[in-house]
Structure formats: structure tokens, C-alpha cells
Structure 1
Amino acid sequence: MPISIAIKIIATCALVAGAAPAFSHMVLEAGSAAAGSSYKAVFLVGHGCQGSATTGVAVQIPAGFQGAKPYPKAGWNVSATSAPLATPYTSHGKQITQDVSVVRWTAASKEAALPDALVDEFLLRGKLPEMAGPLWFKVLQTCENGHNDWSEVPATGTSTQGLKAPAVLLEVTPAQAGPHQH
């Protein structure tokens, strides 16, 4: 085998191996967004549980993420649970003392479940906090057989290295300054 072909095979294997972790956990399509902005969270489900189809996805909304509204999904039932806020906020002149704490999608039938071999998206929208920093979304993925509880958060920092079931990280970046006006 010529060396150039061997190098291409090794490079391809390295790319495939490097891409595997991207689909081995629950992730966000866009992993960062500006503080204070409206954010469309697209949760990517890359596999089921031990080979079985995904039948439910429940996203715990982190503190500071305001006004979460889920997108409907064909063949799935969607619901949202609200809870009292530790720190109320004002939106459109109204004091908000309760907000969405959990969003759930549940397959309406066995046929609607997400097969283990396929990838799909679950979406919600909300407003990001005004301060930059990490937001961790804990996600419970239920399947025909078992579940994946994506809820581990590192003790410090944002590295998920070594965690078996890391929560989904959104890096909230500093807000962009508007154009300078004279």
C-alpha cells in the first residue's frame, strides 16, 4: 500500500474517531450565544439508550434562562411545567414570579419514537441572562428500554472530560456592544 493511501486512511480514522464524541452525548447545535439575547436552543439527540428508541426528552431549564417556550414536534406531545422563581424579573412591564422549569416531549406513539440509529432535534426558545457564564441544561432522555440522565456538571469550570453523562452546556458570552453613534 502506498504511503499516501495509508496516511489518508489514518487521517480518515482519526476524523471518525474524533467525531464520535459529538454524537455520544446530548448537545446543543449552537453551544454559545450572547448574554441578554433571545436564544433558540436546538438539542441534538444522537442515539437512543442501549440500542432502543428514544420515547421522551425532558429538559430542565437553568436559572436565568427566561420565558422558555418549546417548539411543537410532529408525532410528539409537548408540555411545560412552571415553578416559582427565586429571583423574579420584569418582562414587558409585568413582574414575573413563576417561569417554565421543565419542558417535556413525549412520543405520541411507538411509531413516532426516535430510532437509535437516527439523529433528531428538540427545540425551545428563551431569553439568556444579562451576565456571561455557563448555563447547564440537565436532560433526561427516556427510551423503550432504559434512560440516559444527562445531568452531570463539573465541580469547577466547564470541561466535561471524565463525566459519563454530562449536562448540556451553553456558553453565554458577553453581550456585543452596538454600533457607535455620533
Structure 2
Amino acid sequence: MKRSRTAAATTVAAAALVLLGATGASAHVTVTADTTEAGSYAVLTVSVPHGCGDSATTAVAIAVPESIPAVTPTVNPGWEIEKVMETLDPPVDDGHGGQLTERVAQVVYTARSPLPADHRDAMELSVRLPDTPGETLAFPVVQTCEEGEAPWVQLAAEGQDPDELEYPASVLTLTAAAQDEPAAVETADGAAAADATGDDGAAEAASPPAAVSWAALALGAAGLALGGVALARTRRTS
């Protein structure tokens, strides 16, 4: 289980490095997630790496996919936050025994002081991802500046390379939940025995090597004690 989780963490870290590399190369306003596992809670990070040309950023409006009804923005001292709501008809389950009659359609960050074009900032949104692995979520973002705006809203057509787009929107694809591997217990002779959930025969087969191991440890300890006595006698007679 530990090996499986470690491998999963390594995969996530590698994916994060790839995303960071892509962000640095393209310098787009991007939306990344700390996890893409369907049905999980995730923190989305909206990165604003530059202004509109040489113009400072004054607002960042993030459109939320319809399959994400609720969003909790993280407070950012440099920005005022507004949640733009829309009515849900029919209402949807809120996951806590109640129903939602409206959803967050957009989160707008307005700068208290314009963000200089050669500075970057990031906003965080907490969401619960939809339950369907393979579902694609698009996050169009409009970056407004003192002069002009950058509409990061373009989506690639089927078969089109997203790198060809001038203002691509960030897209996340949900993944299936990671499956833990069954734990294996290695016996003293190197054989793998079933874990505690296995049958009684496997547990009984693993018992003798364990007993031998304890006996070997006891004999080893006795040998160390005798060696210490012999060494002490040698020192006294020298």
C-alpha cells in the first residue's frame, strides 16, 4: 500500500513539473489542480504570469464548469473577490443531504492595486470535482488590464493542437481513483506470504520462519554477550 501511494505521489509530482514547464514556456493564464481524481476535493490554482502586453492587470474573471456547482475562493489580500451566481433548475444534491438552488458560475478577482505587467500572482479555488473519470473540464479566464484585455477562452477543435491557439483556455481531464495494491509480508526465507486478510493456511505457513527468526536473534544476542565477557577477561589479564 505504501509503495502504491509513493508511486502515485511520484506520478503527481512529475505531472506537476510538466504542467509548470508548460506554463513557463507558454506564459498563459492557466488553471491547474493539485489532484484530478474524479470525485475528490481539489484546489485549483489560477496563475497570472504577466499583464496584457505592458499593461497592468486589474481583474481576473474565472468561468466555472457547470458540473462544479460550488466553489470556495481562497482569500487573497491583493484582490477583492466576487462570486457570480446563477439559478439551478432543477436543484442538485449538495453532497450533504441538502440541495443547491444556485451555483457559482464565475469567480471574479478585482485588484485593489493593479498588478504590474512584469509581476505574477495566483488565486486558489477549492472545489469538489465531478465523479466521472475521463470528463474534461474547461476553465475560460478573462484577464482585464488597464489597457485592453486577454480572453483566455479558446478551446481546441477535435484534432487541433491547443498550442496553435492564441488565447487557449485551461483544460483538465479527470482521472480514475488510484487503486491500492494488496500488502505482502516477506518471510525470513524470502518468500512472500499473504497479508492478514489471507487464508489461515498462509498465516500458519508464515509462523515457523517467524519462530526461527526469533531464535536466531536470541542466539545472536547470546553470542554478543559471550564475546563481551571474553573481551573483558582479555583486557584484565593483559
Band of TM-score, shorter chain? 0.7 to 0.9
Equivalent residue, structure 1, for 2:82: 79
Alignment-mate amino acid for residue 130 of structure 2: P
Equivalent residue, structure 2, for 1:53: 56
Specify whether residues 93 and 162 from structure 1 end up closer, same or farther in structure 2 by C-alpha distance, changes over 3 A only.
same
CA distance in 1, matches of 2:69, 2:109: 19
Q: Secondary structure at the match of 1:153?
A: coil
Equivalent residue, structure 2, for 1:167: 169
CA distance in 2, matches of 1:86, 1:162: 37
64-73 vs 155-164, which moves further: 155-164
CA distance in 1, matches of 2:87, 2:159: 28
Q: How does 1:15-164 map to 2 (within 5 A)?
A: 22-30=25-33, 33-85=36-88, 88-91=91-94, 92-108=96-112, 112-132=113-133, 133-156=135-158, 159-164=161-166
CA distance in 1, matches of 2:89, 2:79: 31
Contact conserved, 1:66 with 1:128, CA < 8 A, in 2? no
Equivalent residue, structure 2, for 1:11: none
Specify whether residues 37 and 19 from structure 1 end up closer, same or farther in structure 2 by C-alpha distance, changes over 3 A only.
closer
CA distance in 2, matches of 1:150, 1:100: 19
In the TM superposition, what is the alpha-carbon distance from 1:75 to its structure 2 partner?
2.7
Number of residue equivalences? 162
Alignment-mate amino acid for residue 53 of structure 2: Q
Once the two structures are superposed, what CA deviation does each residue of 1:41-73 show, in whole Å capped at 9, x if it has no partner?
Answer: 101111100111111000000121231111121
Structure with larger Rg: 2
Contact conserved, 1:23 with 1:46, CA < 8 A, in 2? no
Specify whether residues 71 and 25 from structure 1 end up closer, same or farther in structure 2 by C-alpha distance, changes over 3 A only.
same
Q: Secondary structure at the match of 2:65?
A: coil
Contact conserved, 1:89 with 1:96, CA < 8 A, in 2? yes
Specify whether residues 39 and 20 from structure 1 end up closer, same or farther in structure 2 by C-alpha distance, changes over 3 A only.
closer
**Root-mean-square deviation over aligned CA pairs:** 2.5
Equivalent residue, structure 1, for 2:193: none
**TM-score in terms of structure 2 length:** 0.61
In the TM superposition, what is the alpha-carbon distance from 1:161 to its structure 2 partner?
2.2
CA distance in 1, matches of 2:34, 2:75: 22
More strand by share: 1
In the TM superposition, what is the alpha-carbon distance from 1:103 to its structure 2 partner?
0.3
CA distance in 2, matches of 1:56, 1:157: 33
CA distance in 2, matches of 1:122, 1:178: 32
Contact conserved, 1:31 with 1:171, CA < 8 A, in 2? no
Once the two structures are superposed, what CA deviation does each residue of 1:47-102 show, in whole Å capped at 9, x if it has no partner?
Answer: 10011111100000012123111112113110101112366421210011311000
Alignment-mate amino acid for residue 176 of structure 1: A
Q: Secondary structure at the match of 2:139?
A: strand
In the TM superposition, what is the alpha-carbon distance from 1:123 to its structure 2 partner?
1.2
Contact conserved, 1:35 with 1:175, CA < 8 A, in 2? yes
- Structure 2, unaligned runs of 5 or more: 1-20, 183-195, 198-238
Specify whether residues 70 and 19 from structure 1 end up closer, same or farther in structure 2 by C-alpha distance, changes over 3 A only.
closer
Contact conserved, 2:23 with 2:30, CA < 8 A, in 1? no
CA distance in 2, matches of 1:94, 1:84: 16
